[in-house]
Amino acid sequence: MDSKSELMARKPEWLKISLPQGKQYLDVKEIIARKQLHTICVSGKCPNLAECWGRGTATFMILGDVCTRACRFCNVKTGSPQGIVDWDEPDRLAETIEGMKLRHVVLTSVDRDDLPDGGAALWSKTVQRVKERNPGVTIETLIPDFNGVAEHINLVIDSGPNIVSHNMETVRRLTPKVRSRAKYEVSLKTIEVVAKHGGVKAKSGIMVGLGETPEEIIETMDDLRNVGCKILTIGQYLQPTRKHLTVKDYVSLEQFQEYRRIGLEKGFQFVESGPLVRSSYHAEKHV
C-alpha cells in the first residue's frame, strides 16, 4: 500500500461527508442554475454543501466561475476570462436572494487579475444591489487580495458589507507551494486595510493538514491579530481531485479545540475550528 492509500485508509470517521439531497437542496440548485449564478459550494466541493443547501443557504460566487490563478488546493476552474464581466449579475443575484428569503449572505469571487481593478467595481455594485433589494440582509464579503491595492479593497468596503474576509489559506512557509501568485504579506496587508477602515469586522481562514506545524499556526494567528483580524476559521484540507495537493495529515478533534482555545486567548472574537469548518461556516454568527 502506498503512502496516499495508507492516508486514505486512516481517514477519520468524522470526515465522512453526506451526499446532498432533499427538496430544499434541489430547489436551491434549480434557482441558481436558472439565474445563471455560481456558488463556491459546488465549485469548491465544500463538505458542508448538504447541510447548508438543505436549510436554504448558499455562498454565492460572483465574476464568473473561471479564476485567473491556479492554487494547488482549489477546485475552481482556472483560465483567462478575457476581461468579460457580466454587469447584469448583481441584479440577478439580488433578486435570487430576495426569492430565497435569506437573512445572511456570503459573497465571494474568483480572482480576476485580467481586470484593471481586479473586479472591485462589480463587487461594489453587487453589494449595493443586494442591500437595495434586501434591506434587512447582512452580508459577508470573502474577497480576493486585489494585489494589495487599498483603493480597490476600500471600494468593496465602502459598498456596505458587515464583514470583510480574506483567507490566508496556509502558513508563511507553505504559501509559495500552496497558493498561486498570492503572497503571505500581501494577504496580511489586505486584512490590515480592512481592519483599519473601521465599521466592518476583518476575518480570515486557514487550512490545516498541508504539512504545517502547530507553532506555524500560532505564528499565523499572531500575524493576523497584529493587523487587526477579529474572526478566524480553521478547517481540515481535503484533496478535491488527484491533481491537487495531497493531504499530509488529518488533524485530531483535540488539536482543533486547542487551536480554538489559543485563538480566543489571543483575542479573536470568534474562532471556528473543526475538520469540516470552511470560510462561510456559521458565518451568520459572526456579524
Cα distance between residue 145 and residue 152, in whole Å: 9
The model's pLDDT over 150-203, given as tens digits with 9 standing for 90+, comes to 999 999 999 999 999 999 999 999 999 999 999 999 999 999 999 999 889 999
Give me 13's grid cell: 470517521
Is a pLDDT exceeding 80 seen at residue 126?
yes
Band of residue 1 on the pLDDT scale cut at 50, 70, 90 = very low
**Residue 206, beta-bridge partner list:** 169, 234
Q: What is the pLDDT of residue 142?
A: 96
Instruction: Report yes or no: 145 and 166 within 8 Å, Cβ to Cβ.
Output: yes
The pLDDT value given to residue 13:
74
Nearest to 159, CA basis, from 212, 207, 105, 123: 123
Least confident of 7-11, 28-32, 75-79, 111-115: 7-11
Whole-prediction pTM: 0.86
- 9 confidence band (pLDDT: 50, 70, 90): very low
Mean pLDDT of the chain: 87
The three-point CA angle 40-259-172 to 5° equals: 65
What mean pLDDT do residues 13-25 have?
Answer: 61
Please tell me the predicted confidence (pLDDT) of residue 81: 96
Q: What is the pLDDT of residues 198-238, one digit of tens each?
A: 889 999 999 999 999 999 999 999 999 999 999 999 999 99
Name the band, by pLDDT with cuts 50, 70 and 90, for residue 23.
low
d(CA 282, CA 191): 20
Q: How confident is the model at residue 36 (pLDDT cuts 50, 70, 90)?
A: low
Q: Which residue has the higher pLDDT, 223 or 101?
A: 223
List the Cα angle 49/263/12 in 5-degree steps.
Answer: 45
- b/e per residue 90-114 (b: at least 16 CB within 10 A): bbebbebbeebebebbbbbbbbbbb
What dihedral do alpha carbons 121, 94, 109, 20 form, nearest 10°?
180
Contact 196, 228 (CB under 8 A): yes
Signed CA dihedral, 51, 112, 77, 11: sign only: negative
Q: How many CB atoms lie within 10 A of CB 29?
A: 17
Checking 14-21 for CB contacts under 8 A at 24+ apart, the result is 14/253, 14/275, 14/276, 15/47, 15/236, 15/238, 15/250, 15/275, 15/276, 17/47, 17/50, 17/276, 18/50, 18/51, 19/50, 20/49, 20/50, 20/53, 20/54, 21/50, 21/54
Superfamily assignment of 3-286 in CATH? Aldolase class I (3.20.20.70)
Using alpha carbons, select from 106, 232, 262, 258 the residue that is nearest to residue 168. Answer: 232
Q: Is the pLDDT of residue 5 over 60?
A: no
pLDDT band at 100 (very low <50, low <70, confident <90, very high): confident
The domains of the chain are located at 3-286
Cα distance between residue 169 and residue 250, in whole Å: 16
Question: Residue 277 is placed in which grid cell?
Answer: 469548518
Chain mean position to CA 132: 24
pLDDT tens per residue across span 63-90:
998 999 999 999 889 999 999 999 999 9
> What are the backbone dihedrals phi and psi of residue 98, each rounded to the nearest 5 degrees, phi first?
-65, -45
Residues contacting 91, CB < 8 A, separation 6+: 129
Residue pLDDT, tens place only, 129-150:
999 999 989 899 999 999 999 9
